[in-house]
Amino acid sequence: MKADAPSATAYLIATSTLFVAADPRAGRLIPARAAELSACFVAARTRAARWAQAALRRKEARPFVSALERLTLPGIQLHYALRKLYLEETARAAIADGVGQVVIFGAGYDTLALRLREQFPAVQFIETDHPATQRRKIHALAAARRDFTRTQPPTNLHFLPVDLTRGRLAATLFNFEGYRADTPTLFIAEGLLMYLAPAEVDALFQTIRDCARRAPLVRFAFTFMEPQRDGRVNFLTRSRAVDAWLGWRREVFKWGIGRTELPAYLRERGFTLREIATGDTFRQRYLEPQSLAHLPLAAGEYVCVAEDFDEGGE
């Protein structure tokens, strides 16, 4: 990622959310408020982006966008939508189990905290992200005259700018006035760990482990990718154009782990595995009930939900 530029991937995912939301079949998988907020982020970028947003909603443009997706990374936009659905279910389940704080690392233009903080006013929500991306997000919300809620100030939503590659996350989080160290907490890292170096991933796990020593319950939901046969971390099917674009944007994949290796990796860092969601999980849970199982879905990224070792009972 370029030092002073907002994440291009975050913008791409917000645009993909709009594209899926406008689909007559899969659109029901996108919460209406998520589409509304994503439109806000896309529209605030540039005049060209506003034109692109309008074009995405036109029926005539959809075959072209779909063809481009098939040539680059088939099913990636639907994959983004379904991993967000799964993480939202994970967050709601954690809140039902007593979690009173949700911390999202590398939030980008995600809408989860913006939406759930309205429904759960007693839960604290903290978004951490690279300063350039977070500034763009806050500016977009202000430009759209959104105060994050219809009726009251956003007292349970906090923004914490932090560059995870600079190694100051623990001190920054622990000293942040919005963070409650003794509160049961869910940490979320969606589409993030693969962009970090192995030492940076270890530092993130250590930060969460330090938090777990102070809170009675800590869960960590994150997405990860597996190294492929050539040793590179990537989706199972993608074109060279995807690799070239990521390299140009300086958002290359650096870290991955095999699913069979993950339980031991977690134990070494003080966590126990609760569940792993794959493309088959998404297909069975979200597509089959809607008679959409035939739709293409990108493969190679998974969701893991882990828990503090002491709470996990091992």
**What's the pLDDT tens digit per position in 172-230?**
999 999 999 999 999 999 999 999 999 999 999 999 999 888 899 999 999 999 988 77
Closest Cα partner for 85 from 293, 296, 283? 283
pLDDT value for 145: 65
Per-residue pLDDT reduced to its tens digit, 123-179: 999 999 999 999 999 988 887 765 444 445 568 999 999 988 776 788 899 999 999
47 class by beta-carbon count within 10 Å (0-12 exposed, 13-18 middle, 19+ buried) = exposed
pLDDT value for 191: 94
- The verdict on domain 8-312 having CATH code 3.40.50.10420 is no
In order of 201, 264, 270, the CA distances from 314 in angstroms are 23, 12, 10
Strand order in the sheet with 101-105: 157-161, 124-129, 101-105, 185-189, 218-225, 301-308, 271-277
Q: Rounded to whole angstroms, how far apart are CA atoms 51 and 76?
A: 22
DSSP per position, 149-215: SSSS--TTEEEEE--GGGS-HHHHHHT-TT--TTS-EEEEESS-GGGS-HHHHHHHHHHHHHHHTTS
Contact 183, 152 (CB under 8 A): no
Q: Rounded to whole angstroms, how far apart are CA atoms 263 and 257?
A: 10
Task: Enumerate the domain spans of the chain.
Answer: 8-312
pTM over 0.85: yes
Residue 271 is given by DSSP the state E
